[in-house]
Amino acid sequence: MHRAEIFLYRKVFYALYMQYWMHTGVPFLIFRFSICIIVSFG
């Protein structure tokens, strides 16, 4: 169940991430770095 949640979150994150990056043009590394921080502390 926990693994399924992680898979679902990752799927949603990638979808939102792609739209967010393409629409706003925010730097790739900064957003990825913040995701890495969230994942490691989560």
Q: Is 14 left (phi over 0), alpha (psi -120 to 50) or beta?
A: alpha
Q: What is the pTM of this model?
A: 0.39
User: CA–CA distance from 32 to each of 2, 18, 24, 35, 38 (Å)?
Assistant: 22, 11, 15, 5, 10
| pLDDT, tens digit, 9 for 90 and up, residues 1-42 | 688 888 888 998 888 878 877 666 666 778 788 888 889 886
- Residue partners of 11: CB distance under 8 A and separation at least 6: none
Residue 20 in contact with residue 26, Cβ under 8 Å? yes
